[in-house]
């Protein structure tokens, strides 16, 4: 018994003869293989290099199996100029991949088993705001077994509008782990001013002079003197503020020419809508059915979206209440005004002005099922009005929490931010 106890003690304490004794010369047990993936949205920014270095370091420390460098397309396949933009995105991804691979190779010891993957995502649909970018990122992460997102602090995928904060907030509502790379940001001395170029100056000078002559007399010599002086002053002071995209040939002149073609079309639509509204007002037998409507438009962001929203407002019977990402919330007074909105005539003309004739050929919002009635007996969606504290939303006079209701046009988390409107 004593011998047995002694043997047992040896086994319990890891002494000689126990099964836990390490074998001389045997290799230690290897750590488990890394799992999961880290998604890094990539755009050419001053902090991209530092963000890539931090992503590689985080992937090694946290045990990720892959670093996914993705470029979220701000264009849509098939639109004019997309080939050049896609090629530019690929070049950025190639440079980022080379940086990540170099950082992995420079790590002391054996190269970590981390794979670098690159991809362009979201080019099959128009992306307008944080919700759209989050949907694309979340779908890519789910399809590639990734569970974390690392954001570049200077990430701005939609031009001059900084999208990082709303994007980070929207990502926090997903199962993904979100982090902003703790890298130093460059100082900015002139955030609201773009680079001074001759093209911007000439474009602003031409527009200012043309507007001056529109109000004055181009045949009078004094108007030429004052017009040139005024246009020069405006160009010197505002060309770096008012124009954020470099004018190019022949795109800018063609847009201006197509815009001149659009003016009489818009005037015709305004005249026709005036007649229809006046007819309904004068004839008590015709219906007046005010309602709020939602239309998801495909015109891009910035100036094209502003052009379409203001064109709708200028047309009697419709009023654009709010533009949220690609959704326009429009109040209509009569059924014909609502039908004209859903038929998408102004949307097609806006695409014609900014992208050319080929881009104007697209299905109407009604055919794409990108429209909804938010009020009245024909409503196809509820009208969400966000509470001030963001906790509850009210629709149709009843209190409902986020996620309640399965209306036909409901799309995920789009009710997180809703138009602040009142019944007209």
**Same domain? 216 vs 261:** no
**Same domain? 108 vs 224:** no
User: Last residue of a domain, which of 220, 242, 264?
Assistant: 242
Q: What digits encode the pLDDT tens for the residues 284-327?
A: 888 888 888 999 888 877 778 889 999 999 999 999 998 876 78
Residue 319 inside a domain? The answer is yes
The radius of gyration computed from the CA coordinates of the chain, to the nearest angstrom, equals 30
Residue 144: give the domain boundaries: 37-180
pLDDT for res 10: 45
**Same domain? 173 vs 229:** no
pLDDT for res 9: 47
**Sheet architecture: strand order including 385-386:** 385-386, 393-395, 398-400
Q: How many domains does the chain have?
A: 3
CB 33 within 8 A of CB 88: no
Helix ranges (H only) for 296-395 are: 303-314, 335-343, 345-355, 365-368
CATH code, domain with 164: 3.40.50.620
**Same domain? 170 vs 56:** yes
Query: Is the per-residue pLDDT at 280 higher than 80?
Result: yes
Closest-CA residue to 146 (of 253, 208, 65, 215): 65
- Between the alpha carbon of residue 272 and those of residues 316, 339, 378, the distances in Å are 9, 14, 25
Tell me how many degrees the CA angle 280-295-83 measures, rounded to the nearest 5. 135
**Same domain? 51 vs 175:** yes
Residue 76 inside a domain? The answer is yes
Q: Where are the beta strands (DSSP E) in 156-277?
A: 177-180
Q: What digits encode the pLDDT tens for the residues 17-63?
A: 444 444 455 444 444 444 678 999 998 888 888 999 999 999 888 88
User: Last residue of a domain, which of 372, 397, 415?
Assistant: 372
Cis peptide before 386 (omega within 30 of 0): no
Residue 255 inside a domain? The answer is yes
**Same domain? 237 vs 260:** no
3-state DSSP helix/strand/coil percent for the chain, to nearest 5?
A: 45, 15, 40
Residue 137 inside a domain? The answer is yes
**Same domain? 163 vs 217:** no
**Same domain? 51 vs 95:** yes
Residue 31 inside a domain? The answer is no
Question: For residue 300, what are its two tokens?
Answer: 């891009």
pTM score above 0.85: no
CB 393 within 8 A of CB 384: yes
Q: What digits encode the pLDDT tens for the residues 109-145?
A: 788 888 999 999 888 877 766 777 888 888 898 898 8
**Same domain? 237 vs 272:** no
Closest-CA residue to 386 (of 420, 335, 341): 420
User: Last residue of a domain, which of 345, 372, 399?
Assistant: 372
């Amino acid at each position: 018994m004593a011998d047995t106890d002694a043997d047992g003690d040896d086994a319990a304490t890891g002494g000689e003869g126990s099964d836990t004794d390490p074998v001389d010369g045997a290799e230690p047990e290897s750590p488990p293989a890394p799992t999961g993936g880290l998604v890094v949205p990539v755009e050419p920014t001053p902090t991209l290099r530092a963000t890539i270095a931090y992503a590689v370091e985080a992937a090694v420390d946290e045990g990720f199996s892959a670093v996914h460098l993705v470029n979220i397309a701000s264009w849509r396949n098939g639109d004019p100029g997309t080939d050049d933009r896609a090629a530019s995105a690929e070049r950025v991804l190639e440079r980022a991949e080379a940086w990540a691979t170099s950082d992995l190779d420079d790590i002391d010891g054996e190269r970590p088993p981390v794979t670098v993957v690159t991809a362009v995502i979201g080019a099959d649909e128009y992306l307008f705001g944080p919700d759209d970018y989050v949907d694309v990122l979340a779908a890519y992460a789910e399809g590639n077994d990734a569970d974390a997102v690392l954001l570049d602090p200077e990430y701005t995928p939609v031009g001059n509008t900084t999208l990082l904060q709303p994007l980070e907030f929207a990502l926090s509502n997903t199962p993904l782990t979100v982090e902003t790379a703790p890298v130093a940001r460059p100082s900015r001395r002139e955030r609201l001013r773009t680079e001074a170029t001759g093209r911007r100056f000439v474009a602003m000078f031409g527009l200012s002079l043309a507007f001056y002559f529109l109000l004055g007399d181009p045949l009078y010599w004094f108007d030429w003197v004052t017009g040139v002086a005024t246009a020069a002053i405006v160009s010197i002071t505002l060309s770096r503020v008012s124009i954020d995209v470099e004018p190019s040939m022949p795109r800018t002149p063609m847009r201006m020419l197509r815009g001149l073609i659009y003016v009489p079309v818009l005037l015709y639509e305004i005249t026709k809508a005036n007649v229809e509204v006046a007819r309904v007002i004068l004839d008590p037998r015709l219906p007046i059915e005010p309602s709020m409507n939602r239309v998801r438009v495909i015109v891009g962001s910035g100036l094209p979206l502003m052009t379409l929203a203001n064109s709708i407002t200028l047309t009697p019977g419709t009023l654009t209440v709010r533009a949220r990402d690609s959704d326009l919330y429009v109040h209509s007074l009569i059924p014909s005004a609502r039908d004209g909105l859903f038929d998408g005539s102004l949307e097609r003309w806006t695409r014609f002005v900014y992208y050319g004739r080929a881009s104007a050929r697209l299905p109407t919002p009604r055919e794409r099922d990108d429209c909804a009635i938010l009020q009245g007996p024909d409503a196809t969606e509820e009208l969400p009005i966000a509470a001030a504290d963001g906790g509850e939303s009210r629709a149709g006079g009843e209190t409902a929490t986020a996620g309640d209701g399965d209306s036909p046009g409901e799309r995920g988390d789009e009710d997180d931010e809703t138009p602040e409107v009142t019944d007209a």
